[in-house]
Chain A
Amino acid sequence: MTKILRRIVFFFFVAVFFIGAPKIVFYALGYSYRHGSESGLVKSGLVYLSTTPPGATVYVGGRRYRDATPAIIRDLLPGNYPIRLVLKDYEAWAQTVPVEPAKSSVLGKILLHPKKPDWSMRLSDQYEDIVLVPDTKYFLLKKKNQADAVQIYDWKEKKAKPFEDDPAKVQSFFKAKRSVDDTIFLLDENGKFSSGRGGEVIVKQSVLGFLYDKKNHKTVIWTKNAIGLVEKIKPKKELGVLQGSWSVQWVFKQGQRISQAFWAHDGACILFQDQSKVLMLELETFGAPATYELLETKYQSHIFYSDESGEVFYLDKKSGNLMSLEVIPKWKVLEIPFTLLQEKEKEAKVARV
């Protein structure tokens, strides 16, 4: 190969680099070229949408987008975009998503609701209540006035067995487990909720319970009427004293008698019980969190939910049978792409209620 030809090839590649490199940089930073009368470079943003289950058709402003979820819609000029997700056998999902220049609007854990809920009857006996045993694969089932009044239920294996021990021991075990979370937060009998280390009072009274999500470092608290997210904020110095390193964002205030709450869908939802209703509160939103009812349970009984199984266990309203409802279809949860594995949980801009 002659020297001249080699040089031509070399300079061709050099030219490709110097033409291509700026284009790639601009594209990576979210700039796009606007055609028409106002032609020029504009700084665009993007929207990332991922649903459970995946494969939902995406409509942006009524126009169908080429990719199904998970999808990245890029080159969007700043503004608000009505987005609708449609998947067969699931309720349509719709929201207005704001797009800011060079920013990504992430809705990475959208939970689509099936049109026909997937209920299963697990045990046909008549039960009185469910007692939680945190950090184990069991919960207890209480019957009324019978010899085998308590049963252990393995929610992973979906099997029950009689519990011959003293139920009081179970209660003490339950309390002992709670102390793990108490190193971070403290909750006294009057409902005063404070931080475990600094002793800072976060809520003065009425808190009935809290749940700390170790994986996502998020905490939910509940009172009789409300559900709140506990957030760490940068402490401010006022008169030389550090003030308020924690704040509570109340995301639900219409409760009647909230008794339980669970983190669901990897911190994107809160599943809670209000009187005999079990509701789901969706936090993955740029608007006000949406709440919808999942089921009704037996009067004054508790429920159990684990994100590991994606099922909520409850007692049937009429028969008292142990039932389960698949809330998160685990086999349909999309394996998150590698690049997003390390994604810090996007703090969806949840509006104060």
Chain B
Amino acid sequence: MIPRAEYRNRFLDPAVLAGISHLDLVAKTVVDGFISGLHRSPDFGFSQEFAEYRAYTPGDDLRHIDWNVYARTERAYLKRYRGDTNTQITILLDASASMGFASHAVSKMDYARYLAGSLAYMAHQQRDAAGLIVFQEDILQYVPPSGRQGHLARMFHAIGQSAPALRTDFRKPFLHFQQFLHRRGLVIVISDFYEKPGAIVSAINPLRARGNEVVLFHVLDPVELKPTLNGPAMLIDMETEDALEVSAEFARDEYRSRIGAHVDMLRSEAKGAGLDYFLIETDRPLDAALREYLTIRQGRM
């Protein structure tokens, strides 16, 4: 018999999720599996735990009436939960060509879709209004934040339609994004951030300045962090299609130090700007990313 923790992790494994064709199923599998594992964790509150009763007023949703209380008191009361805080969550999904890189069964784009879908699903479960922006050099798709029924399906569709192409340019899409953002909320940026840290932070920082919580999910393939080559190789840049002959020694030594410095600098500058930064590798389960989200979400309640 498979231990419960392993069973849960097995369904959070990106390689397992890659076998599920529908993004909604992926998100449901991830989130349900993740939440079921949280019951044993005292550190994180459950977003739908009971908060208070409120007297029924006409127009309230009858599904929220506590019928047990009604049976005892013959008065209708509604159960209120902590999660019902109507936080607006906007997910910014990078769909540039570099997101198509993969060294195993799950590409960065796939992983980013799972992550975005799971976050959208979890937000929907908590009655948060979730929105989506898919961007490359420009904004490809925009799904305004909403908590209504049916909105989640629209989110999944938009996420599923995102395909990697073209280059990343943070300035232009973020400038447009600020026009759509009317309420403060939580902004989640999912990208591989192949840009100078200073440029990234300067492009995103205005969101933070307008009172938003900004989380940067830095999605990288393991090979991007620790590339291995058997010999000299001709590498093709997936965004610019430039070619460069690279030796195995350089990939092993020089490149690793450079990408490490890039991550450190991005983390440092993000922290300096009040942005939350989270590096996530595509061969890791998704629960780490969801924990990060909940941690931030807890702080906003």
Bound together: no
A contacts, CB < 8 Å to B: none
